[in-house]
Structure 1
Amino acid sequence: MNIRETTDADLPVLAGIMNAVNPRHPVTAELLGHELRSLREHPLNPYVGVWLAEEGGRAVGTGFLMQPPGMFHPGRYWAEVMVLPEATGRGVGRALADILENCLAGRGAREVQAGAYEDEPRGLAFLTRRGFTETMRYFDNVLDLTAFDPAAWVQEARLPEGLRAVSLAGLIAEQGEDAAWRAYHSAFAEAREDVPRTGAATPLSFETFRERGAGPTFLPWGVLLAVTDAGEVVALSEMYADPTDATRINTGLTGTRRAWRRQGLGLALKLAALGQARERGIRTVWTNNATTNLPMLALNERLGFRPRPAFIEMRRGSVEGV
């Protein structure tokens, strides 16, 4: 077995391994390259390391280690090991994990996060043996859009008086590129602070936020915004293209500024987003919610989303008090 650090030339191989291990959320070499470049160019300068395991010249697994910029702490890392199903049981995962462990030790890591799906007992046992314990669960929830009836939601689809729904593309046409993105960022940054997570959210600068528009899955028409007559964005609901399936769409953040909550804005925007998706021939909509986010889980259940096996986030150590 040979384990080495990867280069951009390995992106197609890495994407293939990831898709074989986790077909629930497929990636492409283009998307993977964009995500890695975004991490490496992030102003916080987070550590990013990617390794490839080869047997007889064939790639059979990958190891990934980074400092998550969304809840950045110099002592906190996210670790991931993926091995092709046909190569499990031969020590590939253990060898990759040892590489990551040596790197973590050398960097003085205090907290390491990792995870596996609840229907992956082998992965969960692997993490448990290495000292990880569960911290939070996240459900994939999937809606069959072909069976969704928008006529049943006419009342809920109405925004309160003084608000209107407009896509980011529409807001750009009205306000100009920079002003529209700043209005979008202002609402996103506030709503994001209250999303359940296992660490404090790092403030999101406008410059970093603006770069998401260059992502290969970003859809300006898929960002639905509730806007006041003065042009302020007070709520949002995001959809992103799936990198491999043109009939599937993935949702991002649905959130409302604190002063505007409990008025049905999130539901109205999600309904507008689903309408946009139906018009474009989308058949399935995927979303992901922490099991502690009870209001959003209840809302998605009302809409007809149905849960898939949960992803179990696990942790070893802690940066609390450091």
Structure 2
Amino acid sequence: MTVIVRDLRGEGPDDVERFVHCRHLGLPYMLWNADAVRHHQTHTHPDAHYRSLVAEEDGETIGTAQTGLAYDSPEPGQGYLNVYVRPDRTGRGAGRLLVRAAEEHLAARGATRLFSWVLDEPGHRAFAERRGYRPSRSSHFLRLDLAGAALPPLQDPPPGVELRTAADFADDPRPLFLLDTEATSDEPSDVQAELTDYEAWLRETWQHPLLDLDLTTVAVADGRPVAFSVAHTDRATRYATAMTGTARAHRGRGLAKLAKTHSLHRARAAGYTEALTGNDSDNAPMLAINRRLGYEICATEVRHVRELG
């Protein structure tokens, strides 16, 4: 039995579905489906040199990797590779081959520092450290039983603030782009991101197939968005928060919690039964909000870094 590594064939439904299934087995705490995979394949900015890789053994997909450059970072030469192997197919060399292929791809495109999220489990961390990666910051996956949770009661927005949905901005989403730009720049991270390309944001974020415009909740003051909670759904039972943020001038007023609470209530009314989210371990304000909403940590990943050259 031989393991090979190749590019994902994005045009083939069976290949993409196997990719999604394998990745879900390795990382069940995030919301993904075939449409999302195809979207990333097609619409990720060309400067990212994005690739999805598959480790295959006798026709079976046993591992996946997603790799590219952080093109939206002001610091050049930063690449990422996130590798997941089916828990029941480890020890066959799939992870090692995926890492090698991703590193070669990134090095050929000028990457000098590589970042990889690694599950905070002894075997996963040892695998990364044997390959020259050192641990950095950590992040938590959180889950909420939306069907059975006792959500905080709905509250009215404070004076001068009203709640809308992203669907209200369908004709002109630029105000949401500006809010996303400010909120993203303040997120804790070891790879700083600057959202400056509106057209790229439209393709990658606004047109993302999982984005639910009706459940994405926006707090508006003085006619402009000042806080939001971005909802992704699989259009079936799973709901995920892709981003929650508040404009700097309006922080400390509880607007992020207000927006997210309203979104969760409407998601449950729409029939969603599971809510997922993720927070950097240093993001104390959002971790506190999610605890009050009933979320519980279900897994942790540790960002690992390797310097090339």
Summarize the alignment of residues 74-85 of structure 1 with structure 2, pairs less than 5 Å apart: 74-85=76-87
Once structures 1 and 2 are overlaid, which stretch shifts more, 76-85 or 49-58? 49-58
Consecutive unaligned residues of structure 2, counting only runs of 5 or more, are none
Tell me if 1:233 matches 2:225.
yes
Percentage of identical aligned residues: 29
Letter of the structure 2 residue corresponding to residue 132 of structure 1: Y
Deviation at 1:26, TM superposition (A): 5.0
Residue 130 (structure 1) aligns with: 131
- Kindly indicate whether the alpha-carbon contact (under 8 Å) linking 1:18 and 1:26 is maintained by their aligned counterparts in 2: no
Work out the CA distance in 1 between the residues paired with 2:304 and 2:255: 33
1:160 equivalenced with 2:158 (yes/no)? yes
- The runs of at least 4 aligned residues of structure 1 exceeding 4 Å deviation read none
- In structure 1, the partner of 2:291 is 301
1:290 paired residue among 280, 289, 301: 280
Q: Which residue of 1 aligns with 2:216?
A: 223
Cα distance, 1:301 vs. partner? 0.9
Is 2:260 the partner of 1:259? no
Say whether the 8 Å CA contact 2:52–2:66 is kept in structure 1: yes
- Please state if 1:24 is matched with 2:16: no
The CA RMSD measured in Å over matched residues stands at: 2.3
Q: 1:67·1:73 contact (CA, 8 Å) conserved in 2?
A: no
Report deviation, 1:194. 0.8
**Paired position in structure 2 for 1:36:** 41
Cα distance in 1 for residues equivalent to 2:84 and 2:29: 14
| Counterparts of 1:96 and 1:171, CA distance in 2 | 41
User: Measured at CA, do residues 279 and 123 of structure 1 come closer, stay the same or move farther in structure 2, by a change above 3 Å?
Assistant: same
TM (normalized to structure 2)? 0.89
Letter paired with 1:286: L
Q: For the residues of structure 2 that align with 1:77 and 1:288, how far apart are their CA atoms?
A: 21
For residues 1-322 of structure 1, the aligned pairs below 5 Å read: 1=2, 2-8=4-10, 9=12, 10-39=15-44, 42=45, 45-71=47-73, 73-118=75-120, 120-150=121-151, 153-154=153-154, 157-172=155-170, 177-178=171-172, 181-211=173-203, 212-228=205-221, 230-242=222-234, 246-317=236-307
The structure that is helix-richer by fraction is 1
Paired amino acid for 1:82: Y
Q: Residues 96 and 163 of structure 1: is their aligned pair in 2 closer, same or farther, counting only changes over 3 Å?
A: closer
Q: Are the equivalent residues in 1 in contact too, given 2:51–2:67 (CA < 8 A)?
A: yes
Count of matched residue positions in the alignment of Structure 1 and Structure 2:
303
Kindly provide the amino acid, as one letter, of the partner of residue 164 in structure 1. Answer: E
Query: Matched residues in 1 for 2:279 and 2:31: separation?
Result: 18
- Which stretches in structure 1 are left out of the alignment for 5+ residues? none
